[in-house]
Structure 1
Amino acid sequence: MRANRRLAQLWLDALATELGAAAGTIATYTDDLTCYLGWLDEHGLGLNDVTLERVRDYIAHLDQRGYAGSTVARRITVV
């Protein structure tokens, strides 16, 4: 969904310009957002459709894929 990606890019731009986040931080968040937006796309969801239940579903998805706890925690941050 284009709107999801546009909003994500605006957020990343704000991190870089307003908060002065380092390039490595932006790259990591970009990867995490790509994962999350891909999951949303697979489920036909827009960012406005996200509920607590959907966040729980996403966390379960990450757990099922075997991600380390630190990775899951970081990916939750972008949600």
Structure 2
Amino acid sequence: MRTNQRLAQLWLDALATELGAAAGTINTYTDDLNCYLTWLSEKSLGLDDVGLEQVRDYIAGLDQR
């Protein structure tokens, strides 16, 4: 889902440029977003498909790790 990647990158860019987030913060968010985007891709979901149920499923999956 290319749109997911593009939207995530726009958010990261804004975080860095507009809010002045540190490089370490950007790296951490990048790692977390990549995990989330991978999960979305495995479920064939776009960011616009995500609701409360999907967020709960993702968090439950994190607890199982």
Matches within 5 A, 1:51-62: 51-62=51-62
Instruction: Note if 1:15 corresponds to 2:15.
Output: yes
**Could you say what secondary structure the match of 1:20 adopts?**
coil
User: TM-score, with normalisation over the residues of structure 1?
Assistant: 0.82
Distance, in Å, in 1 between the alignment partners of 2:63 and 2:38 is 16
By how many angstroms is 1:31 displaced?
0.1
**Could you say what secondary structure the match of 1:44 adopts?**
coil
User: TM-score, with normalisation over the residues of structure 2?
Assistant: 0.99
Q: Report sequence identity in percent.
A: 82
* Superposition CA RMSD, Å: 0.3
4+ residue runs over 3 A deviation: none
Corresponding pairs, count: 65
Distance, in Å, in 2 between the alignment partners of 1:50 and 1:21 is 26
Q: Which runs of 5+ in 1 are unaligned?
A: 66-79
Q: Which runs of 5+ in 2 are unaligned?
A: none
